[in-house]
Amino acid sequence: MSELLKMIRVNQEFLNYIRVLKSSEKGGVIETIEARPTERIIGQRAPIFAVYIVQKGLGKCYLTEDSGKDFIQEFFSEGEIFGEIEMFNNDLSFCAVEALTDMVIFKIKKEHFYELLEQDKKFNRLVLKLLAAKVRYTALRHSFNQSYPIETKLVRLREQVPQLTSLISKTDLANYLGITERSLNRTFNNLRQRELKT
Amino acid sequence: MSELLKMIRVNQEFLNYIRVLKSSEKGGVIETIEARPTERIIGQRAPIFAVYIVQKGLGKCYLTEDSGKDFIQEFFSEGEIFGEIEMFNNDLSFCAVEALTDMVIFKIKKEHFYELLEQDKKFNRLVLKLLAAKVRYTALRHSFNQSYPIETKLVRLREQVPQLTSLISKTDLANYLGITERSLNRTFNNLRQRELKT
DNA sequence: CGCGTAATTGAAAAGTATCAACACTGGTGG
DNA sequence: CCACCAGTGTTGATACTTTTCAATTACGCG
């Protein structure tokens, strides 16, 4: 697993292109909305009428299982899109999306999203690319998550995101890793102790 | 989690369309290949020059972690495509694909795949759709896998695939669930005993 | 100050992996 | 035809990991 598994996903290339579109003559179809921390942008099992692209800020995409447990699929930041999965199969959303910080978000209504896909080759290509990246990311993360002990996962995360615990709450972290907060704490403590000894 | 999570994936709509293409004037770009059980069709971390669509048979898509553990991403059957993820970002393959039964497979070379995407709107649309379905499937499976005990997972699988153990080896089953064979056996035994008592 | 949410901890219980031994199968070659 | 082999499946005992539960503390904010 030498593959890169970013915890907080971004897609600068896509964001740039959305900005280009926004300032073009057809830019009218791209709205801008805002969200404050804890605000839910889309709910789980809800019909979806638009896609959203993060312009600024940090959000989480999570789903609540029947057992009551939450599982966080991904944290997304600049350039990441959501709501698009549901567009293609007319599904209800399988994730809820919630803001963790103040966010600024582009919003494109369903019908305009379709139009763009049909009429704008570059847009079409970027969406294909980003879907492929999502599949890859999700698949690799699942495999990694199943194959290594908690400690390894935590060490990885800290390497990537040094400010880990200040950015993301312990509760969210635990739900991202699919473990309990108790286990998260114990592992943190073990790591800390071991680091002091050396 | 009332969502449907098929263990063995199929995509009849896509397969039908590939067949239509194959018998059209441009059908020449679609080759047919075969594979026998245990044969590896693509290797992990290999460059990919074509996409493959299953016409008949059953295959598994798995990846080997540094720890030596195998993790099975999915089993695919008729109409499922693989190799496409790597096309869009010019990545090396992150999964190996291996035949479990005799297989017949359509093969479309990279450049022709691109052409189809650009020139055939319906093909383009079907690929978008199928990528979205893959994201959804992978995400839901990950969540489910992390959130429930082994027993629940097994019960689910058996409901879906009654002939489970005759179709898929215990080793593969364990690797699909991300558990050891020992745990798989114990859980099967527990279930069996409990069913006898009632 | 007081409320609610998030974080922390210990002890006990439950779940899973590890390991090592053994059984079953189908194919291979002497 | 039998002995052997490799791969797969099975099991018990044990050690380890993780969750559960409940009790406590810390923190931000009106």
Domain-located, residue A155: yes
Residues from chain A contacting residue B150 (CB–CB below 8 Å): none
Q: Confidence class of residue B67 from pLDDT cuts 50, 70 and 90?
A: confident
Alpha carbons B154 and A4: distance in angstroms, whole number: 31
Domain coverage including residue B119: 8-147
Domain-located, residue B3: no
| pLDDT score of B1 more than 50 | no
Nearest partner of A6 among A133, A108, A171, judged by Cα: A133
H or E segment at B169? none
| pLDDT score of B2 more than 50 | no
Q: Kindly report, residue by residue over A13-42, the tens digit of the pLDDT.
A: 999 999 999 999 989 999 999 999 999 999
Of A118, A124, A146, the CB nearest to B71: A146
| pLDDT score of B46 more than 50 | yes
Q: Confidence class of residue A66 from pLDDT cuts 50, 70 and 90?
A: confident
pTM listed for this prediction: 0.94
How far separated are the first and last CA of chain A, in Å rounded?
27
Q: Are residues B152 and B141 in the same domain?
A: no
Considering chain A, what is the average pLDDT of its residues? 93
What integer pLDDT is reported at residue A67 of this predicted model? 84
Asked if the Cβ of residue A169 lies within 7 A of any atom of strand C, the reply is: yes
The C1' atom of C19 and the CA atom of B180 lie apart, in whole Å, by: 13
Q: Are residues A39 and A130 in the same domain?
A: yes
List of residues 6+ apart from A177 with CB closer than 8 A: A145, A150, A153, A154, A184
Domain-located, residue A47: yes
Number of compact structural domains in chain B:
2
Q: Kindly report, residue by residue over B68-91, the tens digit of the pLDDT.
A: 899 999 999 999 999 999 999 888
Q: Are residues B124 and B153 in the same domain?
A: no
Q: Are residues A77 and A37 in the same domain?
A: yes
Contact A127 B129 (CB under 8 A): no
Domain-located, residue A3: no
Residues from chain B contacting residue A97 (CB–CB below 8 Å): none
Q: Are residues A38 and A54 in the same domain?
A: yes
Q: Are residues B19 and B62 in the same domain?
A: yes
Q: Are residues B23 and B112 in the same domain?
A: yes
* Structure-token pair, residue A51: 């896609």
The C1' atom of C17 and the CA atom of A149 lie apart, in whole Å, by: 11
Domain-located, residue B2: no
Q: Kindly report, residue by residue over A124-157, the tens digit of the pLDDT.
A: 999 999 999 999 999 999 999 999 999 999 999 9
Alpha carbon dihedral B22, B23, B29, B34, in 10-degree steps, equals: 50
Q: Is B193 on the interface with A (CB under 8 A)?
A: no
Q: Is A6 on the interface with B (CB under 8 A)?
A: no
Q: Are residues A115 and A153 in the same domain?
A: no
| pLDDT score of B137 more than 90 | yes
Alpha carbons B61 and B8: distance in angstroms, whole number: 11
List of residues 6+ apart from B24 with CB closer than 8 A: none
| pLDDT score of B127 more than 90 | yes
Which nucleotides of chain D does any protein CB come within 7 A of? Answer: 8-13, 17-22
Q: Is A139 on the interface with B (CB under 8 A)?
A: yes
Stated length of chain B: 198
% of chain B residues with pLDDT over 70: 96
| pLDDT score of A72 more than 70 | yes
- The torsion angles phi and psi of B76, rounded to 5 degrees, stand at -125, 150
Q: Confidence class of residue A198 from pLDDT cuts 50, 70 and 90?
A: low
Q: Kindly report, residue by residue over B8-33, the tens digit of the pLDDT.
A: 999 999 999 999 999 999 899 999 99
Q: Are residues A119 and A172 in the same domain?
A: no
